[in-house]
Chain A
Amino acid sequence: EAGVAQSPRYKIIEKRQSVAFWCNPISGHATLYWYQQILGQGPKLLIQFQNNGVVDDSQLPKDRFSAERLKGVDSTLKIQPAKLEDSAVYLCASSLSLNSGANVLTFGAGSRLTVL
């Protein structure tokens, strides 16, 4: 079974520039998540999709972050304009569905963003 694919793995930009991250979840997984992990902290949920609908985006800074999951498969996360404090690893994860017991997440390797 192929894992969760993310790209790019690394990105360096200057503040006020824009960046986009792409994620392809495990085939058949209905639920997709974007997490932000700042160095020394645990992953923080930014947005959660069930198929192509948003379930939770309460912690997404909507003035600069946007995400979409067209056709309920791939997803993109965009930041525009970036701030220094956006430097983090952006983790994409997927799970079978929200109603699957412990709802185990499968993570991609992450996209490391450095904002200068």
Chain B
Amino acid sequence: DQQVKQNSPSLSVQEGRISILNCDYTNSMFDYFLWYKKYPAEGPTFLISISSIKDKNEDGRFTVFLNKSAKHLSLHIVPSQPGDSAVYFCAAIGGVGGFKTIFGAGTRLFVKA
């Protein structure tokens, strides 16, 4: 039951360029979508979120876009920095799952200097 899907296992980007990480979901009842970032040997840390009633949320170099009709969201990182190299998890909360946070499989981002 994969309600949240990240179809790209990895992404490689040059420093200074834009990184775009994608996420698709199947449950139209989700209330919030979140992105978490994970470094090796650490737990995931919260990065940015977006309510289902909005289509964009920006925080510094990070912007999340939500396309509800396509059930798709994306995380843009501009400009990308080597320290952004990590695994990024898309997550969703609400709907039939109640307050359960459901995670995608993650996308590993490599930012080359």
| A and B from one complex | yes
Residues of A within 8 A of B (CB): 4, 33, 35, 40-45, 48, 55-56, 91, 93, 98, 101-110
Chain B residues within an 8 Å CB radius of A110: 42-43
Chain A residues within an 8 Å CB radius of B62: none
B49 beta carbon closer than 8 Å to chain A: yes
Chain A residues within an 8 Å CB radius of B102: 45
Taken together as a complex, chains A and B put the C-alpha atoms of A41 and B89 apart, in Å, by: 10
B57 CB → nearest A CB, Å: 10
Chain A residues within an 8 Å CB radius of B46: 104-106
* Contact (Cβ within 8 A) A42 B103: yes
Known: A91-B43, A101-B32, A104-B34. A42 touches B105 (CB 8 A): yes
Chain B residues within an 8 Å CB radius of A56: 98, 100
Closest to B98 in A: A56
Within 8 Å by CB of B103, from A44, A55, A103, A109, lies A44
Closest to B5 in A: A42
Chain A residues within an 8 Å CB radius of B9: 40
Chain B residues within an 8 Å CB radius of A55: 98-99
Chain B residues within an 8 Å CB radius of A44: 103
Chosen A-B contacts, 10 in total, with CB atoms closer than 8 Å, are: A35-B103, A44-B103, A45-B100, A55-B99, A102-B34, A102-B51, A104-B49, A109-B42, A109-B43, A110-B42
B41 beta carbon closer than 8 Å to chain A: yes
Taken together as a complex, chains A and B put the C-alpha atoms of A109 and B41 apart, in Å, by: 7
Known: A42-B106, A55-B99, A102-B51. A107 touches B43 (CB 8 A): yes
